[in-house]
Structure 1
Amino acid sequence: MVNKFISGTLILTLSGFVVKAIGSINWIILSRILGGEGIGIYQMAFPIYLLALEVSSAGIPIAISIITAEKVAKEDYLGAKRIFHVSLTMLCTTALVLSILVFFGSRFFIDEHIIRESRAYWSLIALAPAVFFTTVIAGFRGYLQGWRQMAPTAISQITEQIVRVITMLGFASFLMPYGLEYAAGGASLGAGFGGLAALLVLLFFYHRLQQSLPKIQAPLYPQDNVLHILKRLVSLSIPISMASIMLPVVSNLDLLIVPRRLEVAGFTTHQATELFGYLTGMSVPLVTLATILTIAMAMNLVPTISHYFTLDNKEEIYQRTSSALRVSFLVTIPFSVLLFVMASPVVTFIYNAPAAAPATRTLAIAIFFLGMHQITTAILQGLKRPKIPVMNMIIAAAVKVCCNWFLVAIPTLGIRGAACATVADIGVAALLNLIFIYRHTGYLIDIKLILRNAFAAIIMGSIVSLLYMFLHVYVPLVISLFLPCAMGMIIYIGIMMITGGITREDVSKIPYFNRFAHYLN
C-alpha cells in the first residue's frame, strides 16, 4: 500500500514537471508567433472560460474521488460504478449547457463590453468545446483516483498537453496570414483538441478497469438512490470549490489593495504596477513550481485518507498523515532556502528581471507553508471535513488583508510587505489546518524533524551561496546558477542521510531507488 502511494505520487510529480516544461516551451514559441498583441487577444477569452469550468465542475471531481474511495474500501464495486454514472451524467449535462452558452454567448460578451477586445470573439468561440471536454475528463480522473490509480491522470495530462501544444502552434501559424484575431482563435482551439485526446486516454483506462473487476450479479450493499448521491456530491463539492475560489478572491483583494498602498508608500503608479507585476507574475509562479511534489501528494492523499477513514483505520490515517508531512518538510524546506539565497540569479536567468529578487527572496519562505497547506487540506478533505480548510482560508485571508494594508505602506518594505502578507496568509491557513488535524487524528507536528531539516538546509544554502559568489565572476550565469544548486541538493541529501533524516526504510519504499537501500546503515 505504501509503495503504491509513493509510486502514484512520483508518477503525478513527473507528469507535473513534464506538463510544466512543455507549457513553458509552448508559451515561448506562441509568444513569438502571436507577439504581445496576439497574446493579449488570446488571454482576453480565458477569464470567461475559467469561470465556465469552475461552474461546470465546482469541486465535483474531488468529491467523486472521495466517495469512490469510500465504496472501493468496502468492496462495493457496483456502488462505485453507480456513483460515477450519476456524477458523470451531471457533469456532462452542466458541461454541455455551459459549452453552448459560451459558444452562442460569445457575441453577447463582446457587445456588452464584458470582454473589451472585440477581436477576442474567435478565441472565445474556440474555447467553448474545451469547457465540455475538460469538465468530463476531470470526472474520469476523479473516479480513477478514487481507485487510487494515478497513472491514468498522469498519462492523460501529458497527452493533453502534447496534443494541445501541437494543435495550438499549428493553427496559430496556419491562420496568422488571415489576421491576428484568427491566429489567436486558432491557438485557443488547442484546449479542445487536448481535452479530446485526454478523454480518449481516460476511456481506455476506464474500460480496462471495468474489465478487471469481478462480475457481480447482485449488489453486496443497498444501492444509493440518485437524489442521495447528488446530495452527497453537492455537500462535498461546495466547500471544496469554495477553497479553490478563495485563491482568485484573495488575488483580487491583492489587486485592489497592494498597488494603492504602494502609492501611499511613495511609489508612482507606474512603479507600483511594475512592483506588483514582479510579485504576482514572477515570484508567485516560482513558489508554486517548487510545490509540484506536494500538489501530486495531495491529489493522491484525498482518496487514500478517505479509504482508511471508511474502514475506521485510525492507525493508517495517522501514519499517512505523518509520512506525507514528513516528505513535505523534506522537500519544501530546502527549496525555500535555495530560492531565498539564489533569488537574484534565478529571476535574472528566468525573467531577466533582477529587480524581482527582493519580493522573490521574501516569498521563498511561503514554499514551506504552501506545501504544508496543500497536504493538510487534502487530509481534511479525505476525512470528510472539507469545510474546515475553507474557514481557515477565510481567517487567513483577513490576516493577509491587514498585513497588506499596514506593511505595504511602509516605504522600507513596499512590495516585500505584500510578500510577507502572502507568507502570513498561507502560514496561518496551514497552521490552523494542523490544529484540526490534531483534533481528528491525534497527529502532532514534530518540531525536531523540522529543525533537523532546517539545519541541513541552512548548511546547504550557505555552501550554495558561497559557490555562486565564487563562480559567477568566472563562468556564465547558467553554470554559476545550476552547478551550485545541484551540489547543494547533493549536500542536503547527504546531511539528511547522516543525521537520520532519510533512512534505509525511506529509500527502500521509493521505486527504482530501492536497489540502493542496502548501501545505507
Structure 2
Amino acid sequence: MPLLLKQLAIRTGSIFIVKIMGLIGRISLIRLVGAEGIGLYQIAYSYYGLALMVIVGGFPTVLAMLTAKDPAQGWFWFRRISLLLIGLGGIISYVTFLLSPQIAELLGNPNLHFAIRCIAPALFVVPLLSLLRGYLQGLERYSVIAFSELIEQAVRMGALVVIVILLLPKGSPIAVGGGILGTFLAALVSFLLLIFACRFVQQDSLDKGYPHQHRTDRNSMFSWILHTSLIISFTRLLVPLSDCIDAIIIPNRLQAAGFTASEATSIFGVITGMAMIVVYMPTIVTAALSHTLTMKIVSDWKEGQVAKFYERTRCALELGWVWGCTAGILIFTYSKYISWYIFGTYEASEPIRYLAAVPLLVGLRELTTSMLWAQERKKVPLVGLIVGICIAIPIQYFLVAVPGFSYAGPSVGILCLELVTVSWNIGALKLSRVGIRLRPLIVDMILLFILMLAVTLGMNSLMTYHVSNIFQLALGITLYSGGAALYIFWRSRSMNDVLFQSK
C-alpha cells in the first residue's frame, strides 16, 4: 500500500472514531441537559476556541513544516516554542479564571460564569499538546497522533458525561461547566502519553539519518517562524472569532425577534450543538486528506515540481467535490430522520437541511487553504476569511431578528462565510493552471442526484408494503452510500497514482 494512502487511511479512521465518540458524548449531553444546556455549552466553547487560537496561533503548522525538512531543527524549536506557550498559556489561563464573571457578561449570559472558570486549566495544557502533535506531524508519525487523539477523546467524553451526571442536581449551568473540565483532564493524559512516546519517536527519526540542512542563523529563523505563525494564526483565528461573535449576536438578535433568553439559547444550541455537528461530520474525510497531503505538496512546491503540485491539487479538489456532493445530498434528503434518530427530536431537521452544503464548502476550503499555504501564499486565505466574515455578520445581524427566520438567518450567514472564503481561495489558485474542468464536476452532481432520486422512489414504493420507517431509512442510506462509494471508486481510479505516490 502506498505510504500516503496508508497515512490517509490511518488519519481518516482515527478522526472518524474520534468524531463518533464526540457525537456519542454530545448526544448524551443533549439528553441530559437539553437544548438550552447544549446552547450554554456551545457559547462557552466559542470563547475557549478563540482563547486557544490566540495562544497556539500557527505554531503547530509551522513546526510541522520545519520538522518535515529537518527533524533536528524541529526538535530544537519545539523546546523553545514550548517555553513561549507555557508563559502565554499560563497568563491567559489565569486571566480567564480571574475574570470569568466579566467574560460571561460579555458573552451575554451570566450563567456561563462557572463554565468559563472551568475552561481556564485547559488553556494551559492544550496548546502544548497541539504543538507536540505538530512536531509529530512533521515526522509523519500519524499512528502515534491518531492513538493520542483516541485516548484524549475517550477521556474527555467519559469525564464529561460522568461529571455532568454528578452535578446535574445543582442545575444545568453548573453541570455543563463541570463537564468542561473533561477537556483539561483529557488533554493532560494525552500530553503525558505523547511525551513518553516522543522519546522513542525522536530517537528513531535520528537513527534513520534524515539529511540536515545548513543551520540558519537562529535569530532569522525565529523571525521566520514568528512571521509565518502569525499569518497562519490570523487565518485560523478568524474562524473561532466568527464563532464567538455568532455566540453573542445570534442569541441577542433572537431575543430581538421576540424569543425569551431561554428560547434563544435553545435555538442557538440546536444550530451549533446539533445541526452543525451533523453537517461537519463528513468533513473528516477532506480534513484527513488535507492533513496527509500537506507535507507532500509542500515538498513538491519547494523542490520546484510545479507540474506534480498542480496535478495533486487537481485530483484532491475533484475528490473533495465528489465527496462533498455525496454527503450533502444524503444529509439534505434524510435530515428529518437524522435529527430524530440521533437527537430524539425533529427540531434540528430544518437547520440540518439548510446547512447541507457545508460538507462541500468546508472540504474545499480546507483543501484550498492547505494548497495556498504550500505555495507560501498564506495571506490569501486570511483575506478571504476576512471578506467572508464581513459579509456574514451583517447578514446574520439583520436576518436573525426577522420573525420566522430563527434557523434560516444563522444558516444563511454560515453558508455565506464558507461560500465567499472558498470562492476566494479557488480564484487565487487559478483553475486554469490547476486544470479542473467544470463539465465533469456538473456531471458528478447530476449523477449523484439521479442516484438519490432512484433510491428515494424505491423507498417510497416500499410504503405500500407497510415496511417500518427505520428499515426504510437504513436500506435507503445503505443503497445510496453503496452506489456513491462505487461511483467515487470509479471516479478516483485515475487519481490514486497521482495522490498517493511518494515522489
TM-score, scaled relative to structure 2: 0.83
Counterpart secondary structure, 1:201: helix
User: Which structure 2 residues correspond to residues 156-195 of structure 1 after superposition, within 5 A?
Assistant: 156-173=148-165, 186-195=178-187
* CA distance in 1 between partners of 2:58 and 2:46 (Å): 18
Q: State the 1:216 CA deviation.
A: 10
CA RMSD for the aligned pairs?
A: 4.1
User: Which structure 2 residues correspond to residues 378-393 of structure 1 after superposition, within 5 A?
Assistant: 378-393=370-385
Which residue of the partner structure matches residue 59 of structure 1?
Answer: 58
Per the alignment, do residues 10 and 449 of structure 1 end up closer, same or farther by CA in structure 2, a change over 3 Å counting?
farther
Which residue of the partner structure matches residue 455 of structure 2?
Answer: 464
2:205 matches 1:235: no
Which residue of the partner structure matches residue 306 of structure 2?
Answer: 314
Per-residue CA deviations over 1:100-134 (Å, capped at 9, x if unaligned) read 4444x25764898879647844x555443322221
> Is the contact made by 2:339 and 2:345 (CA closer than 8 Å) also made in structure 1?
yes
Which residue of the partner structure matches residue 328 of structure 1?
Answer: 320
* CA distance in 2 between partners of 1:40 and 1:257 (Å): 13
Say which of 424, 429, 434 aligns to 1:443. 434
Counterpart secondary structure, 1:312: coil
Per-residue CA deviations over 1:154-193 (Å, capped at 9, x if unaligned) read 1111101112233344455556688988765653332222
> Is the contact made by 2:86 and 2:124 (CA closer than 8 Å) also made in structure 1?
yes
2:433 matches 1:434: no
Which residue of the partner structure matches residue 13 of structure 2?
Answer: 14
* CA distance in 1 between partners of 2:105 and 2:365 (Å): 40
* CA distance in 2 between partners of 1:188 and 1:410 (Å): 33
Q: State the 1:485 CA deviation.
A: 1.1
User: Which structure 2 residues correspond to residues 76-87 of structure 1 after superposition, within 5 A?
Assistant: 76-87=70-81
> Is the contact made by 1:59 and 1:241 (CA closer than 8 Å) also made in structure 2?
yes
* CA distance in 1 between partners of 2:500 and 2:63 (Å): 28
Say which of 90, 95, 119 aligns to 1:96. 90
Q: State the 1:136 CA deviation.
A: 0.6
Which one-letter code corresponds to 1:13 in the other structure? T
> Is the contact made by 2:251 and 2:265 (CA closer than 8 Å) also made in structure 1?
yes
Per the alignment, do residues 446 and 86 of structure 1 end up closer, same or farther by CA in structure 2, a change over 3 Å counting?
farther
Q: State the 1:294 CA deviation.
A: 0.9
Per the alignment, do residues 173 and 410 of structure 1 end up closer, same or farther by CA in structure 2, a change over 3 Å counting?
closer
Point out the structure with max Rg over C-alpha. Answer: 1
Which residue of the partner structure matches residue 67 of structure 2?
Answer: 68
Which residue of the partner structure matches residue 386 of structure 2?
Answer: 394
2:270 matches 1:302: no
> Is the contact made by 2:151 and 2:190 (CA closer than 8 Å) also made in structure 1?
yes
TM-score, scaled relative to structure 1: 0.80
* CA distance in 2 between partners of 1:167 and 1:255 (Å): 25
* CA distance in 1 between partners of 2:383 and 2:103 (Å): 37
Which one-letter code corresponds to 2:80 in the other structure? V
Per the alignment, do residues 284 and 29 of structure 1 end up closer, same or farther by CA in structure 2, a change over 3 Å counting?
closer
Unaligned runs of 5+ in 1: 512-521
Which one-letter code corresponds to 2:24 in the other structure? I
User: Which structure 2 residues correspond to residues 345-360 of structure 1 after superposition, within 5 A?
Assistant: 345-354=337-346, 356-360=348-352
> Is the contact made by 1:42 and 1:187 (CA closer than 8 Å) also made in structure 2?
no
2:215 matches 1:223: yes
Q: State the 1:400 CA deviation.
A: 3.4
* CA distance in 2 between partners of 1:272 and 1:478 (Å): 32
Which one-letter code corresponds to 1:469 in the other structure? N
* CA distance in 1 between partners of 2:185 and 2:401 (Å): 47
Which residue of the partner structure matches residue 23 of structure 1?
Answer: 22
Per the alignment, do residues 428 and 110 of structure 1 end up closer, same or farther by CA in structure 2, a change over 3 Å counting?
closer
Which one-letter code corresponds to 2:450 in the other structure? I
User: Which structure 2 residues correspond to residues 82-161 of structure 1 after superposition, within 5 A?
Assistant: 82-103=76-97, 105=98, 109=102, 117=110, 120-121=113-114, 123-161=115-153
Which one-letter code corresponds to 1:464 in the other structure? V
Which one-letter code corresponds to 1:442 in the other structure? R
Per the alignment, do residues 306 and 86 of structure 1 end up closer, same or farther by CA in structure 2, a change over 3 Å counting?
farther
Counterpart secondary structure, 2:2: helix
How many residues are matched? 498
Per the alignment, do residues 205 and 320 of structure 1 end up closer, same or farther by CA in structure 2, a change over 3 Å counting?
farther
> Is the contact made by 1:460 and 1:489 (CA closer than 8 Å) also made in structure 2?
no
Per the alignment, do residues 40 and 286 of structure 1 end up closer, same or farther by CA in structure 2, a change over 3 Å counting?
closer
Per-residue CA deviations over 1:194-220 (Å, capped at 9, x if unaligned) read 112211332244222221134699995
Counterpart secondary structure, 1:442: helix
> Is the contact made by 1:44 and 1:120 (CA closer than 8 Å) also made in structure 2?
no
The higher-RCO structure (CA 8 Å, 6+ apart) is: 2
Which residue of the partner structure matches residue 503 of structure 1?
Answer: 493
Is the deviation greater in 53-62 or in 155-164?
A: 53-62
Q: What percent identity do the matched residue pairs reach?
A: 25
* CA distance in 1 between partners of 2:41 and 2:397 (Å): 34
Per the alignment, do residues 85 and 28 of structure 1 end up closer, same or farther by CA in structure 2, a change over 3 Å counting?
same
> Is the contact made by 2:46 and 2:240 (CA closer than 8 Å) also made in structure 1?
no
> Is the contact made by 1:452 and 1:501 (CA closer than 8 Å) also made in structure 2?
no
Counterpart secondary structure, 1:445: coil
Which one-letter code corresponds to 1:89 in the other structure? L
* CA distance in 1 between partners of 2:343 and 2:210 (Å): 61
Per the alignment, do residues 420 and 166 of structure 1 end up closer, same or farther by CA in structure 2, a change over 3 Å counting?
closer
Which residue of the partner structure matches residue 365 of structure 1?
Answer: 357
* CA distance in 1 between partners of 2:314 and 2:344 (Å): 40
Per the alignment, do residues 419 and 177 of structure 1 end up closer, same or farther by CA in structure 2, a change over 3 Å counting?
closer
> Is the contact made by 2:254 and 2:264 (CA closer than 8 Å) also made in structure 1?
yes
> Is the contact made by 1:259 and 1:273 (CA closer than 8 Å) also made in structure 2?
yes
> Is the contact made by 2:275 and 2:348 (CA closer than 8 Å) also made in structure 1?
yes
